Amino acid sequence: MDITEIERDSMEFDVVIVGAGPAGLAAACRLMQLAKEHHQELTVCLVEKGSEVGAHILSGAVIESRAIEELFPNWQELGAPLNVPVQRDELYLLRNETAAVKIPNAFIPATMHNEGNYIVSLGNVCRWLAEQAEGLGVEVFPGFPASQLLLNEDGSVAGIITGDMGIGIDGEPKDSFTPGMELRAKYTIFAEGCRGHLGKQLYSQFQLDADADAQHYGIGIKELWDIDPSKHQEGLVIHGSGWPLGGGTSGGFFLYHSENNQAVVGLIIDLNYSNPYVSPFDEFQRMKHHPLIADYLQGGKRVAYGARAITKGGFNALPKMHFPGGLLVGCNAGTLNFAKIKGTHTAMKSGMLAAEEIFAALQAGDTGGKDLSGYDARFQNSWVYTELQASRNFGPALHKFGSLIGGAFNFIDQNIFRGKLPVTLRDDHPDYAQLRPASEFAPIQYPKPDGKLSFDKLSSVFLSNTNHDEDQPSHLRLKDPTIPIGKNLPLYAEPAQRYCPAGVYEVLGEGAEARFQINAQNCVHCKTCDIKDPAQNITWVTPEGGGGPNYPNM
Amino acid sequence: MKILVAVKRVIDYSVKVRVKADNSNVDLTNVKMSLNPFCEIAVEEALRLREAGKATEIVVVSMGVKAAQDQIRTALAMGADRGIFIETGDAELNSLSVAKLLAKVVQDEQPGLILLGKQAIDSDNNQTGQMLAALCGYPQATFASKIVVEGDTATVTREIDGGLQTLKLSLPAVVTTDLRLNEPRYVKLPDIMKAKKKPLAVTTPAELGVPVANTITLVRVDAPAERSAGIKVESVDALIDALKNKAKVI
């Protein structure tokens, strides 16, 4: 049986939304609110690849409540899980493995002040948003990945096709084979998050990034800890940078004290690093041994682990966000404000604006498939645009001048000129092209994990509750299977072994015996391989529905 | 014939189970919950019997916290016809209480066949099916790997230590399912939408007139002991020496 030729069932909706993150859920809620206000019938379907809403959500997170307040002015009454207001903000520069310098408040860029913000589990915020969406009449379907684009004859987007279930590792259908469905819509909103795999196809199909600077990414690795109650200070927010990163590798760490004696600790490493021996996972593990962090974690217990790539190119890298039949929202487009290290409020707002644009079109009798260029105007007239525009130099300054001078530039730009300096810094080198040959570096010897503060990769992945049915084709596709061993290994010591935070990629054997192994079952869906492979040879596609991590309150 | 299937909401099989800091129980905060896999197999078997023309109606019953209705909805999305939910709240229910509540449902519904999972993957009790059969005075077959219904009998193949055993039961009967009975189907998206509209009756132990007395107290839960770090040895001699003198196992 040829799976590509198969007859598929089809369902029609007014709007289909891909991804139950903050952007997709905010769009869904806003659409239904507008329909109710105008007494109009509207069918909205939201598909999510995780086994439940929140299962694939991973973020710090300190969030601004601005978008939630706009969407649900009575959010507190509705029980939104924004329970921990930020009490205190601390920023450090780690000088070495023991010393840290606290940055005086007066020198902190204004965007990095967190008064009025909340420490949340973004997974739980999404679970709450999904309840609101369902209450408003949205059909929410977790466990159903949008695996393919559905196009009309004129090339416009007609919806998506959900993933086929029950295909064996040999690519043949099993007895349980259940073909995916066509979900047809007048308009489709793509809210897949950073490096969405349909988003990637849309970028090339409609040349969405033709006029934008190269997108930039980071990899965020995070752990959730139960810490000693006597050390817990609910509402404490700590950020910092410096050690253990260096040698052209940049990034920053976070440690937030959330509710129930839990703390979250994480490290975000910019994916434009050049040393192929860098292992973001091991950098994070050793970072936790710095006394500033270790003092809080000692005596505690690690509860959960996960990782996710972050779109951080900001304003200059924003693509065109509309195309015939659909809109791109949230991190799928790259609306994160890197100067604030926050993307939830901007993602939600971009989703709400998309909902308003689509609803206005449908209300005017639009039958779908049009290029809703009016979304641009809505976006440009919103606070998201103003905010991103003001922060446009933040990332490029750090990339160009390093954290010291770049940081000084950002202080002057953000605190004195409030982002209105008439210069725009650009950074147009894609992250994957920044790797330098391994021969220029010495391998990095990372310390052995102690099993108390630091851990190995496999026991970490175990705590992401990741699961994929073994009997299915690998969802990590190599365009050219000879590249890992033929090119990446001799030139870059195959960096996939190290940038993957879940131990998916391994080089087994040596010399002529060397072979590349992909342990796709371990994949936590962070998308780093799709971004950082120097040959751009790895394509992340959706596995069988429900596969991937099962994050708790991450 | 009507088939009654009892299902349980349990911690998802892919989740790493954690014990609460005070060892009072397993920590369920923020943890993904699912339909017990053995119960899913029971629902699938009921659907196959209906598709083979052996059954006309499938009723799914569950109990516990309100959220357990999600698991009934999952069974309805798979294809069951209607649900019964007995709200018992947070109270820990032992197997006997569950069996007594189910026996009352059996009395009210008069099914020809009652299917249950052989055990739940959280408590691993493996008691409810057996107790239910005894309370109803029905024949029972546990650990089923094959079920054939003919007229008013069911021929059930059981997985037993070292082989298989085949029993013939007169109906009504209680059968509990083992892993190899079938592979449950994937739920289809339109069926999830339909399941939202299927009837789901909500009741309580008080309404059913079944007193739920807890005769067992959970005293303590401990996680498995942490494995201590291993060592690497250079030679076979060193290995034998380590096994003899360090590990003291030979």
CA distance B241 to chain A (A): 26
The first and second tokens of residue A520, run together, are: 């796709």
Q: Three-state SS across A294-334?
A: HHHHCCCEEEEEEEEEEECCCHHHCCCCEEECEEECHHHCC
Q: What is the percentage of chain B residues whose pLDDT exceeds 70? A: 100
Question: For residues A509 and A491, what is the distance between their CA atoms, to the nearest angstrom?
Answer: 17
Residue A470, CA distances (Å) to A119, A165, A375, B91 in order: 37, 13, 42, 37
Assigned token pair, B56? 């006309």
The nearest CA of chain A is from the CA of B14 a distance in Å of 6
Q: Which pLDDT value is given to residue A440?
A: 96
Looking at residue A391, what is its pLDDT? 87
- Residues in chain A within 8 Å Cβ distance of B29: 260, 552-553
Alpha-carbon span B209 to A370, nearest angstrom: 61
CA-nearest of A398, A188, A223 to A304 is A223
Find the mean pLDDT for residues B18-28. Answer: 92
Looking at residue A107, its pLDDT comes to: 82
ipTM of the complex: 0.89
Task: Compute the average pLDDT of residues B188-209.
Answer: 96
| CATH number listed for the domain at residues A12-73+123-212+319-390 | 3.50.50.60
Q: In a 3-state reduction of DSSP, which class is residue A3?
A: helix
What lies within 8 Å, CB to CB, of A106 at 6+ separation is none
Rounded alpha-carbon distances, angstroms, from residue A159 to A8, A17, A154, A321:
13, 9, 13, 16
Q: Is the peptide bond before A145 cis (omega within 30 degrees of 0)?
A: no
Whether residues B186 and A51 touch (CB distance < 8 A) is answered with: no
A166 in contact with chain B, both atoms CB, cutoff 8 A: yes
* pLDDT at residue B21, rounded to an integer: 87
Q: Do domains A84-119+215-311 and A432-442+455-540 have the same CATH topology?
A: no
Domains and CATH numbers, chain B: 2-218 (3.40.50.620)
Burial class (CB in 10 A: 0-12, 13-18, 19+), A294: middle
Please answer yes or no on whether A451 and B229 come within 8 Å at the CB atom.
yes
| DSSP structural state of residue A253 | E
User: Chain A within 8 Å of B225 (Cβ-Cβ)?
Assistant: no
Q: Out of A9, A123, A303, name the one closest to residue B18 (CB).
A: A303
Q: Does the domain at residues A84-119+215-311 carry the CATH identifier 3.30.9.90?
A: yes
Q: What is the DSSP letter of A514?
A: -
pLDDT for the residue numbered A247: 86
Residues with Cβ within 8 Å of residue B147, at least 6 apart in sequence: B45, B49, B154, B155, B156, B157, B175, B181
Q: Determine how β-strand A182-190 pairs with β-strand A326-328.
A: parallel
Q: What is the pLDDT at residue A218? A: 96
Per-residue pLDDT reduced to its tens digit, B28-61: 999 999 999 999 999 999 999 999 999 999 999 9
Q: Tell me, what's the pLDDT at A404?
A: 66
Alpha-carbon distance values, B69 to A192, B76, B124 (Å): 29, 10, 21
Alpha-carbon dihedral angle through residues B82, B48, B68, B81, given to the nearest 10 degrees: -10
| Residue A415 DSSP label | I
For residue A121, the chain B residues in CB contact (below 8 A) are 30
Selected from 3.30.70.20, 3.20.20.70, 3.40.50.720, 3.40.50.150, the CATH number assigned to the domain covering A432-442+455-540 reads: 3.30.70.20
- Per the omega criterion (within 30 degrees of 0), is the bond before A280 cis? no
pLDDT tens-digit readout, B139-171: 999 999 999 999 999 999 999 998 999 999 999
The secondary structure of A106-139 as a DSSP string is GGS-GGG--TT-EE--HHHHHHHHHHHHHHHT-E
Question: Is the minimum CB–CB distance between A275 and chain B shorter than 8 Å?
Answer: no
- pLDDT tens profile B82-109: 999 999 998 889 999 999 999 999 999 9
Q: Which residue from B32, B183, B189 is facing A181, i.e. has the nearest CB?
A: B189
Does A233 contact chain B (CB < 8 Å)? no
Q: Nearest CB to A139: which of B18, B31, B193?
A: B193
First to last CA, chain B: 61
Buried b (16+ CB within 10 A) or exposed e, B93-113: bbbbbbbbbbbbbbeeeebbb
CA distance A544 to B82: 28
Q: How do the residues of chain A divide into helix, strand and coil, expressed in percent and rounded to 5?
A: 30, 25, 45
Which residues in chain A are closer than 8 Å to B229, comparing Cβ atoms? Answer: 451
Of B14, B29, B190, the CB nearest to A465: B14
Every domain of chain A and the residues it spans: 12-73+123-212+319-390, 84-119+215-311, 394-424, 432-442+455-540
Å from A356 to nearest chain B CA? 26
Mean pLDDT for each consecutive 10-residue tract of chain A (554 residues)?
74 98 98 98 98 96 96 97 95 93 85 92 98 97 97 97 95 92 98 97 96 95 97 96 91 96 97 97 98 97 97 94 98 94 96 98 96 97 94 79 70 70 77 96 95 96 94 96 96 97 96 94 98 98 95 96
Rounded to an integer, what distance in angstroms lies between the CA atom of residue A216 and that of residue A531?
A: 9
CB spacing of B31 vs A467 below 8 angstroms:
no
DSSP labels for A141-158? Answer: EET--EEEEEE-TTS-EE
Inter-chain touch A51–B12, beta carbons under 8 Å: yes
Residues of A marked active site are found at: 59, 308, 344, 500, 523, 526, 529
Mean pLDDT score of chain B, rounded to an integer?
95
CB contact under 8 A, B14 and A462: no
Strand ranges in chain B using DSSP code E only, listed in sequence order: 2-6, 9-11, 33-35, 57-64, 82-87, 113-117, 140-150, 153-160, 163-170, 173-177, 200-203
Q: Would strands A62-63 and A118-119 be described as parallel, antiparallel, or unpaired?
A: antiparallel
How far is residue B62's CA from residue B58's CA, in Å, rounded to a whole number? 13
Put simply, the answer to whether A52 touches B32 (Cβ < 8 Å) is: yes
A186-195, B176-185, B216-225: segment of lowest average pLDDT: B216-225
Closest to A269 in 3D by CA, of A293, A291, A286, A294: A286
What tokens appear for B226 in the block? 């942490």
Query: What SS3 state is found at A83?
Result: coil
How far is it, in rounded angstroms, from Cα A25 to Cα A134? 10
Residue among A358, A349, A348 nearest A327 (CA): A358
Instruction: Evaluate whether A20 touches A53 at the Cβ level (below 8 Å).
Output: yes
The closest of B208, B140, B213 to B175, measured between CA atoms, is: B140
pLDDT at A425: 75
Q: List B residues 20-79 in contact with A (Cβ-Cβ < 8 A).
A: 21, 29-32
The amino acid at residue A35 is: A
